[in-house]
Amino acid sequence: MKLHSLIFEPRKPSIVQFTDNLTMTDNIKTHDVGIDTMKRRSIGTQTEIDEKKPSTKGVIIQDECTSIPLAVCPSCSAWSIQGVLAVGDVAGNIHIVINDAVVSTTKVHLQFVSSISWISKTQFISCGTDGNVVILQFKGTSIETIKSVRLSVVDLPRNIRKSSTSVKSLSIVAMSRYDSEVCIGTETGGLWIASLPDLHLKAVPSIPQAIQSVLYMSPFIIISGDDESTTMINCDGSFVESIAIAAKHLCKIDDDLFIMTDNSRIVIYDKTLKKIMYDENRSAQCLTVTPLGDIVLLSENQLIALNLLKSCT
């Protein structure tokens, strides 16, 4: 298994070197990460790529990004298959972006929007640290709530909440969709599988732990938190495997493979073979996988597109 890379640098310097003999024609969608939540910031919505001239090592490309100002820091985002961008922010708002312009801003959550995922051409699901899971309908240039549920302390498994019957909201920190279900994780270790679109919740037996991110690849759930390892469990809560990396970001590549990073190392793991297929020391503040299966990661001030080549051996 090999990774070929394509590097995008900021406007200054404005040209970058594509060092592999590959081409890229799709636009790259990006958003700012790791910035001060109290300052006015913007989101980059499109990268235009122009081929300049061939070289012995590949082609030289130039990139231009469109920035859209927001009143507060964006916290998450998701593209629909029709190219509509939904952006959540730290104040609980969700912004709809069409053709490089914010067409609507709606207060959906009381606090930080932690995750957004489109579930159809016109509907998406969001969750936040206010404990709410919300299905929203996109109509014209606005959104409206279709259904919502709220998770509270009393919903936690007894081994986590002990004897507490508090109705205080839980902080939802992670969500991952698989087909017609989503896995929801709270910062205290609570896990639920919610069916779509009715949001029927089924608790997953789990232990008290700090959850940072989850990846749902039924019948498995991959969990990362404060530990020095990443854990894979079954949907019934039974332990499957421990992977020696404290992953901060998890992304599905295909039905068998997923990629994770601890910001200084990237690992590709096969859940069926239960084996690490690729392991490299590489800086990565965040990463995602495109619909075409390419891996895009942010490394310091560079966007790097990685093309995964599978070996026949």
With contact defined as beta carbons under 8 Å apart, do 286 and 299 qualify? no
How large is the average pLDDT for residues 290-311? 83
CA-based nearest residue to 108, from 123, 122, 128, 80: 128
Instruction: Tell whether the model's pLDDT for residue 10 goes beyond 50.
Output: no
d(CA 113, CA 109): 7
Return the domain boundaries, the chain: 71-148
**What pLDDT is stored for residue 6 in this prediction?**
58
Indicate if the pLDDT at residue 58 is higher than 70: no
Average pLDDT, stretch 213-223? 96
Instruction: Give dist(CA 69, CA 59) in Å, integer.
Output: 32
Model pLDDT for residues 60-81, shown as the tens digit of each residue = 344 556 788 888 999 999 999 8
Quick one: CA dihedral 132, 133, 135, 141, positive or negative? positive
Indicate whether this model's pTM tops 0.85.
no
Average of pLDDT values for 152-169? 83
> What CATH number matches the domain at 71-148, 1.10.8, 3.90.1070, 3.30.450, 2.40.10?
2.40.10
Per DSSP, 301 falls in state T
- Residue 188: how many other CB atoms lie within 10 Å: 17
Q: Are 225 and 210 in contact (CB under 8 A)?
A: yes
